[in-house]
Structure 1
Amino acid sequence: MISFRTRRQYPRRTSVQRKNLRIATMEGVPAVMFQTLLGGQFLTGYLLYLGANSSQLGFVLAITTFVNIAQLFAAFLIQRLRSRKWTLVLFVAIHRLLWGATGLIPFLFPKPLWVTAFIILYTLAFTFNTVGGILWNSLISDIVPARVRGRYFGIRNTMLNALGTLVMYGGGMILDHEPGGRGYLILYVIVWICIAANIAMFFFYPDMPFEHSSERRFVPMLKKPLQDGAFMKATLFLGGFLFLQNLVVPLYSFVMLVLLHINHQTLSLLNVAQTVFMMGSFYVWGSLNTRYGNRRLLFWTLPVIALSCLLWGLLSVLPMLAVLFAAHIVFGVGVGGFNQLAFNFMIGDTPKSERPMYMAMYAAITGVSAFFGPLLGGNISEAIQHGPEWIRIYGMQLIVGLAMIGVTMTFGRKILRAG
């Protein structure tokens, strides 16, 4: 009788798990569509349309990471929740609606206030997203069984990034055919439809049982990751590396649109090439992850990212588009591995009951580091605007790329290879 029940119940559990994984995948479809059209080159282009300068652009690109510090408090507060799902739905909806509302700025505010209004709405949106983000990470780590986690996220990331490349190219074509306000209005109409669909998909998420922390007070809970020496060393080092990376990478679109005079369609093709190679790298890094640990492989993604910055120096001797395609492709391979392995590091190398605080600590430290990168990078770009053209176009990338190699082969080798 016991054996019979086991055989009858196992297919049902499998069916429920597969249903939950399908829901999580389908939810990502409208999400990646609106995030693609509101981020990256489109965010840079829209801010330039609103009248932003490079320092304001750097601040906007940085603020999304700085507000991650709020995840420390969110990780404590979710321990008191009865339902992660419905709290997630609430914060996700507010984030999406505020971000989508940035498209209404030209209709609601006088032109001198456009950039200020965007910064306020954008900051509020991503403040709510910090809570939604930690709730989603916590919930999805319980939805996806550990035994299929690597394979599932590899397939999900590949599918969604493939969709993102199509949306990116299509968005670039729209802006080239309809430049200015009309083009961005068309993009935002698509965005608003996708936002509505994405919010609706979250209603179908399962409300998984939650394993609470063994601590009930904030300070003892906060001390858990702080007392984990290996975790903290790795996180602090990765935060420093992201600071260097974000000095230049978020401003790539600004350099290409303003200084190299590349149109949106060509810029989309560059980003499509980056994304395609990033998708291909998921399988390679995932296969290596079956043999080597997360931290060791994280180490090997860093020289690849540094190389992508150094390749910009070839603009002095080689054709522009050939160099830019090479730099974007190499960056896609490196950052694809970094993002996948960093996520596995957060949800796989941490204790389950304390995982929300560990994820929040990682997000807070790397977020603060990544905040000052674009902020400082934008101000440096503003300061050297009257300097030699080669410094403005690829000089910073060369300096930062060399610094990345230096810290990787010294501190990174000691901290991550030891892990």
Structure 2
Amino acid sequence: MMDFIHLKQHKRRNPSLQRRNLRIATYEGIPAVIFQTLLGGQFLTGYLLYLGATSELIGFVLAITTFVNITQIAVAFLIQRLKSRKWPLVFFVGMHRLLWGVTGLVPFLFSQENWVQAFIFFYITAFLFGTVGSVLWNSVISDIVHPKVRGRYFGIRNTLLNALGTLVLFLGGMILDHYPGSQGFLYLYIIIWICLTANVVIFFFYPDIPFERSTETKFLPMFKKPLHDAPFIKATVFLASFLFLQNLVVPLYSYVMLELLHINYQTISLINVTQTVAMMASFYVWGNLNARYSNRRLLFWTLPLIAASILLWGTLSIFPMLPVLFIAQTIFGMGVGGFNQLAFNFMIGDTPKPERPMYTAMYSAITGVASFFGPLIGGNVYKWIDHMPSWIQMYGMQLVVGFIMVLLVFILGRRILRDDYERIPLR
């Protein structure tokens, strides 16, 4: 009798397979958010400036990670031949992490005049592996997380991980302020290498879920399916246009603050922490709203927030600098947090399951190309306006871009992102 009671208690304590998989996906995100925070944003810009990069090269590096997304279209077709998604996922994620981590060894492996070129080589190669891993991960995670809990789960997951990201942002900024130059970046990369290793190890525990393949076996018919889905492709092209405008200015915020406004790393970290806290709070709010309203409707309402945050940079001409930047980045965090979460749910939720890898790849490719040209052109624009009055460099470009974004949202966005639609093929 006691054995029976003990067995029942043991069964109650054992989480279901679904909960176990969700827990693994959450644990995997912990080291991922640490190294991604320390390898991106102000830290990436600062590291590139330390290596000797110019504004246009910084724009190129910030853009290239999105351009390689175009290769996802070929990957989406090729993964249909896989018997298992788990071990290819582990391999490509592992190679992405390894090559990304090697960027920290560039000053030790190459002469100074080759630092930037070597960084770009490892960075691009890493993200070529990463784009394959991304297709596989999107496919796996869409099967792990049940559609009924998708909005709430990602809301809670993103909230927890961004709380950690907020702390990492602040501590990383403190490290670079206390140990400027090579010593500070060495300390950051030690933390990064530890987290990269932990992240890959956790991927070994991901489930090997059966794969529901496309009904098409040839590339061209599979490729055409998302292109012939009118509501999907119109929404994707519209969002890509918005992202192009956004990425003309947003990826170069750190450059403007470091080089033009002469703000130190710790203050920039506090500004970015404020943005991340706003994102963190918004994830939970958008997640709960997503349980009641469609991805498309909520996606639309994130866009005016993002545009307003960019327009707010124009008030630097009237109000003190730091309050303006804190408020602008808070509103941006609320908008972009919702956008990222809802765009991901749009990719994996508003698409037919057997064709999901190709739909996801098509979305990533189109938005990736737009996001690539944004920072690339933005970086060159800052070079062209270098001789112009300082206000044009500091906030003039943001004013122009923000105004165009507002027009785009309210002229086209409301019609394209409506949720009362049927899947009508394009003719």
User: Cα distance, 1:160 vs. partner?
Assistant: 0.5
Q: 3-state DSSP class of the match of 2:387?
A: coil
Question: In the aligned structure 2, how far is the partner of 1:104 from the partner of 1:325?
Answer: 34
Aligned to 2:424: none
Matched, 1:209 2:215: no
Amino acid at match of 2:44: L
Q: 1:275 is matched by which residue type in structure 2?
A: T
Partner residue in 2 for 1:348 = 349
How far apart are 1:411 and its partner, in Å?
A: 1.3
Q: 2-side partners of 1:250 and 1:334: how far apart? A: 15
Tell me, what secondary structure is at the counterpart of 1:291?
Answer: coil
After superposing the two structures, state which structure 1 stretch, 19-28 or 62-71, moved more.
19-28
Question: In the alignment, residue 293 of structure 1 is paired with which amino acid?
Answer: S
What is the identity, as a one-letter code, of the residue corresponding to 1:78? Answer: I
Q: Distance in 2 between matches of 1:362 and 1:152?
A: 22
Letter in 2 for 1:352: K
Read off the aligned partner of 1:414 and give its amino acid letter: R
Aligned to 2:252: 251
The alpha-carbon distance between structure 1 residues 13 and 360, as it changes in their structure 2 partners (threshold 3 A), is farther
TM-score (ref. length: structure 1): 0.96
Residue 3 of structure 1 aligns with which residue?
none
What is the CA–CA distance in structure 2 between the aligned matches of 1:157 and 1:311, rounded to whole Å? 26
> CA shift at 1:236, angstroms?
0.3
CA distance in 1, matches of 2:151, 2:339: 14
How far, CA to CA, are the matches of 1:263 and 1:323 in structure 2?
16
Q: Compute the displacement of 1:206 (Å).
A: 0.4
What SS does structure 2 have at the residue aligned with 1:309? helix
Partner of 1:4: none
Q: How far has the Cα of 1:320 moved from its partner?
A: 0.5
Q: Which residue does the alignment assign to 2:364?
A: 363
Per the alignment, in what secondary structure is the counterpart of residue 134 of structure 2? helix
- Report what 2:157 is aligned to: 156
- Distance in 1, matches of 2:370 and 2:98, equals 27
User: What does residue 305 of structure 2 align with?
Assistant: 304
Look up the match of 2:52: 51
CA RMSD of aligned residues (A): 1.5
- How far off its partner does 1:14 sit? 6.0
Structure 2 counterpart of 1:332: 333
Cα distance in 1 for residues equivalent to 2:333 and 2:121: 31
Q: Kindly state the Cα deviation for residue 291 of structure 1 after the two structures are TM-superposed.
A: 2.5
Structure 1 unaligned runs (5+)? 1-6
Give distance in 2, aligned partners of 1:13 and 1:307: 48
Cα offsets for 1:350-387 (capped at 9, x unmatched): 00000000000000000000000000000000111111
The amino acid of 1:220's aligned partner reads P
What are the residue-to-residue correspondences of 1:363-402 with 2, within 5 Å?
A: 363-402=364-403
Deviations 1:375-411 (A, max 9, x none): 0000000111111000000001000000000111111
8 Å contact 2:155–2:288 — kept in the other structure? no
Q: How does 1:224-235 map to 2 (within 5 A)?
A: 224-235=225-236
Equivalent-residue separation in structure 1 for 2:13 and 2:280 (angstroms): 32
Q: Tell me the distance in 1 between the aligned counterparts of 2:259 and 2:73.
A: 38
Q: Give the Cα separation in 2 of the matches to 1:292 and 1:156.
A: 20
Residue 16 of structure 1 and its aligned partner are, at CA, apart by 1.2
Letter in 2 for 1:128: F
| Corresponding residue pairs, total | 412
Q: Which amino acid aligns with 2:175?
A: I
Find out whether 1:96 has 2:128 as its counterpart. no
CA distance in 1: counterparts of 2:195 and 2:291, whole angstroms: 36
Matches within 5 A, 1:78-117: 78-117=79-118
Q: What is the DSSP-based 3-state SS (H/G/I as helix, E as strand, rest coil) of the residue aligned with 1:248?
A: helix
Residue identity in the other structure for 2:389? P
TM-score (normalised: structure 2) = 0.95
**1:54 Cα deviation after fit:** 0.3
The whole-number CA distance in structure 2 between the counterparts of 1:111 and 1:343 is 40
- Tell me the distance in 1 between the aligned counterparts of 2:293 and 2:166: 30
Give the Cα–Cα distance (whole angstroms) in 2 for the partners of residues 147 and 279 of structure 1: 21
Cα deviation, residue 13, structure 1: 9.9
Distance between the aligned counterparts of 2:294 and 2:171, measured in 1? 38
List runs of 5+ in structure 2 lacking aligned partners.
1-7, 421-427
Between the aligned partners of 2:317 and 2:127, the Cα distance in structure 1 is 39
Matched position secondary structure for 2:386:
coil
1:271 equivalent to 2:260? Answer no
- Distance (Å, rounded) in 2 between the aligned partners of 1:402 and 1:387: 21
More off after superposition, 141-150 vs 353-362: 141-150
Task: Determine the structure 2 residue equivalent to 1:183.
Answer: 184
Aligned-partner Cα distance in 2 for 1:98–1:284:
36
Aligned partner of 1:395: which letter?
G
Give 1:288 deviation, angstroms: 2.1
Q: Does 1:130 align with 2:131?
A: yes
- Secondary structure at the aligned position of 2:16 is classed as helix
| SS of residue matched to 1:19 | helix
CA distance in 1 between counterparts of 2:290 and 2:83 reads 35
CA deviation map 1:318-356 (0-9, x unaligned)? 111000000100000000110111011111100000000
Higher mean C-alpha deviation, range 146-155 or range 214-223: 146-155
Paired residues of 2:55 and 2:383 also in contact (CA < 8 A): yes
* Distance apart, 1:179 and its partner CA: 0.1
Shift of residue 12, structure 1, vs aligned partner: 10
CA contact (8 A) 2:294 2:419 kept: no
